[in-house]
A and B are shown apart, each in its own frame.
Chain A
Amino acid sequence: MAVETHGTGTLPQIKGVKDVPYDELFVSGHRTCQGCESALVMRHMVKASGPRTIVLGSTGCMYVANTTYYTTPWVVPWMHTQLGASGSAALGTAAGLKVLMRKGKIKDEKINVIAFCGDGGGADMGLGAISATLTHKDYNCLVLLYDNESYANTDIQLSSQTPYGAVTTFSPSGSKKRLMHTRWKKNVPGMLAAGHPESRYIAAGCAAYAVDLMNKIRKALELGGPTFVHTLDPCPKGWDYHPQYSQELGHLAVECGIWPLYEVIDGVCNLTGPTRQIAEGRKKRKPVYEYLKRQGRFAHFADEDVEHFQHEVDKMWTEWLIPGVIPFTVAAKDQTILKIDKKPLHEQKTA
């Protein structure tokens, strides 16, 4: 029954690249940049969800670029929503469908509701609305945050997701201030997972790991209730690199440990892909410099900036309760009571 909060098993996990469905529900002919990973996320998102889907798109690149002007690349029904309104759009759409089905005004069936937002609209302006939606366990919807680490559509301004020190039009590098943006990236998926225990699925993904991402989206839609997926999308325009390297940068972000891939399902946290291998010790984290040096937005970095960046990423891996997910350390005196045997920072070796 579509009105309940569990799925009907119609979206099985994709076994590998050869198992990816061919149907394209987000087609060519959208005015995105060469090498736009966010566009690729859109393509994979509806590939994963299938045609019985309604997509709500908040203002940002994936609205403006895709429909410039008075056109559409969407095969599935799509509607615009406001910058900070993705959470509300998901909630309103899901609630509307649910009650209409219950009252017999439309056919009772499973319809996926996906509302997407960029990092500007989601992690900044719309965070409150997303949080609210994740508490409404009676409604089936997925909020997908595509993160190109800036307000990209307005020609690149910093958001709470812009990495430390990166150049944007609101944080240029000048003779007086080498770095204008010194805030560290807010941990959105971890925060949402920790704060909304009634949301059954929250995940971090990347289009460089396409099958992993599509499976995460399918899991979210299948489990039902309000869910959240956050993708890291290399952006040639904002990050300043040749578009051909978009996939490579996605790989590097994960391999340097900067963007951990994980999912939290019914309160259980799984690391996925190379992130898992890093945590297991099978793979060494690459130095963040490998990632930073490829992008013009870090071209002004001095050695101390790279060191700081590396230090923060190291901390995330060695100090956090769950690397990339939960930033707390437990006070030594409480570790036994809580049965946590994580060593305090000063006793740990770096990776």
Chain B
Amino acid sequence: MAVQIKEREHQDVETEQLMSGCEAIAEAIRLADVDVMAAYPIRPYDGVMQAAAKLIANGKMDVEYIVADGEHSQFEIVKHACAVGSRVFVGSSGVGWFYAFEAIAVTAGLRLPVVAICGNRALDDPGAFGTEHNDSLAVRDLGWLLPWAETAQEAMDLALMAWRVGEDKRVSLPVAIGLDGAFLTHSQQIVKIPTQAAVDKFLPKFDLGDRLLHPDNPITIAPQVDQDWLMEIRMQNDQAMRKAHDVVSEAHAEFKKLFGRGGESPFLDEYMTDDAEYVVFGQGTLALPMKVAIRRLRKEGHKVGLVRLKWFRPFPTQEIVKSLSRFKAVGVIDRDYSFGSPYYGGVLYNEVRSALYSLDKRPTIVGFIAGLGGREIEQPMATDIFEKTKAAAGDIKSGDVCHWIGVRS
């Protein structure tokens, strides 16, 4: 339950509240004047739907709130509401996200800027509620923008960015924000809620232009096609995703100007990397225990740092190359798995290696799989990760490995 720290005297004063990641997203929904949202219960994302329902019931926001009969319906409902010009919001977790997979695929194909959260949760079977990233990552090829949040503040900020970037006519692609289940969806943190006036400056009205489905704009959306048409349509999606990179940068600069936060880079959050020799690389809340470890190891004289990825899609290749090429070794921590992949590494591991492949001088890149199913990344594990990363420096081939951290045999 969100608790206000400071009394809100006027509507136009920025306030601080103690709230969970889900509740922070609900605030973003309110500030963005979302028109339609569709809910279906599955933990841990559905905290956002519960928080939103309270806001609606108490008259804090006016959104058509539809409880669907399943995730497939849920995502189809908002997709179609978006097509008639509504700003929309939806979300799911784990296998619920997968139940909506068809709708997820076509939403990107249709270039409809649906904004969703994926409360990252391990996939069944076995059922488990803890966080893993495979749900979001499974859609990585389809044309969704995929940012990851570290804090509740960032969750809210990324939601506002999502409507801004996704709805931009140069992009017009859906966005799914990854929120680590429990650690971020449910843990309460201090969050600064911006003013409506500031948000209104940042977020223009949603305008589909001549793609709006309305009797005044006679169009057919998505006729059946064959091999004579498909590559051209895919090409358009590719171009949009390329443009998304620049639009994210633009929006980030505007956001920073208006709200005074967002970090140096739109894409990467670097921690103690200026003089680092060995860094770890990852996304989401795993950055938090790694930062604690970094401070501890620095005291012992190790030159270590962290590069946290904020946008997995569009993958900021140039920024990553520029950043990681400075180091002797990079330990990529995947809170996901990719069975049977090259070197049996996780998804981030293989993408980072691919990005750095053509560099003349490459750091050693070691793979780690940790924290699956919401297992906490404890300090001894963090130390272990840094030690293994450091040990691999200087020998490129020693990176051709993926270590599973903290697993009982």
Q: Bound state CA distance, A75 and B215, in angstroms?
A: 10
The answer to whether A78 and B220 have CB atoms under 8 Å apart is yes
Q: Is A103 an interface residue (CB 8 A)?
A: yes
B228 — which chain A residues lie within 8 A by C-beta? 69-70
A67 — which chain B residues lie within 8 A by C-beta? 220, 223-224
The answer to whether A69 and B223 have CB atoms under 8 Å apart is yes
Seed contacts A68-B224, A132-B73; 10 additional CB < 8 Å A-B pairs: A68-B226, A76-B215, A78-B219, A79-B83, A84-B72, A88-B68, A92-B80, A96-B80, A129-B72, A129-B73
Interface centre among B80, B218, B219 (most CB of A within 10 A): B80
Q: How far is the CB of A88 from chain B (nearest CB, A)?
A: 4
B69, B77, B218, B222: the one contacting A92 at CB < 8 Å is B77
B88 — which chain A residues lie within 8 A by C-beta? 96
Q: Is A45 an interface residue (CB 8 A)?
A: no
Q: Is A230 an interface residue (CB 8 A)?
A: no
A89 — which chain B residues lie within 8 A by C-beta? 76-77, 80
Count of interface residues, chain B, beta-carbon cutoff 8 Å: 45
Within 8 A of A (CB), among B98-141: 102-103, 106
The answer to whether A77 and B223 have CB atoms under 8 Å apart is no
Prevailing SS type, chain A contact patch: mixed
Can you offer 30 A-B residue contacts whose CB atoms are under 8 A?
A54-B84, A66-B223, A69-B223, A69-B224, A69-B228, A70-B229, A72-B220, A72-B223, A76-B215, A77-B220, A78-B220, A79-B213, A79-B221, A79-B222, A82-B106, A85-B72, A91-B80, A92-B76, A92-B79, A92-B80, A93-B81, A95-B64, A95-B81, A96-B86, A99-B64, A100-B35, A100-B85, A100-B86, A105-B205, A128-B70
Q: Is A136 an interface residue (CB 8 A)?
A: yes
The answer to whether A70 and B223 have CB atoms under 8 Å apart is yes
Q: Is B78 an interface residue (CB 8 A)?
A: yes
Q: Which residues in B have some Cβ–Cβ distance to A below 8 Å?
A: 33, 35-36, 38, 62-64, 66, 68-70, 72-74, 76-86, 88, 102-103, 106, 205, 213-215, 217-226, 228-229
Q: Bound state CA distance, A68 and B220, in angstroms?
A: 13
A64 — which chain B residues lie within 8 A by C-beta? 224
Interface centre among B38, B66, B228 (most CB of A within 10 A): B66
Within 8 A of B (CB), among A49-66: 51-54, 56, 63-64, 66
A67-B220, A96-B85, A132-B73 as given contacts; A81 in contact with B80, CB under 8 Å: yes
B73 — which chain A residues lie within 8 A by C-beta? 85, 87-88, 91, 128-129, 132
B79 — which chain A residues lie within 8 A by C-beta? 92
Q: Is A33 an interface residue (CB 8 A)?
A: no
A106 — which chain B residues lie within 8 A by C-beta? 85, 214
Q: Bound state CA distance, A77 and B210, in angstroms?
A: 12
Q: How far is the CB of A28 from chain B (nearest CB, A)?
A: 15
A53, A88, A91, A131: the one contacting B215 at CB < 8 Å is A53
Q: Bound state CA distance, A97 and B212, in angstroms?
A: 11
A93-B80, A96-B86 as given contacts; A80 in contact with B221, CB under 8 Å: yes
Closest to A136 in B: B66
B64, B76, B78: the one contacting A129 at CB < 8 Å is B76
A95 — which chain B residues lie within 8 A by C-beta? 36, 64, 66, 77, 81, 86
Q: Bound state CA distance, A96 and B68, in angstroms?
A: 15
Q: Bound state CA distance, A153 and B226, in angstroms?
A: 15
Q: How far is the CB of A333 from chain B (nearest CB, A)?
A: 37
Q: Bound state CA distance, A53 and B213, in angstroms?
A: 10
The answer to whether B68 and A132 have CB atoms under 8 Å apart is yes
B33 — which chain A residues lie within 8 A by C-beta? 103
Q: Bound state CA distance, A106 and B214, in angstroms?
A: 10
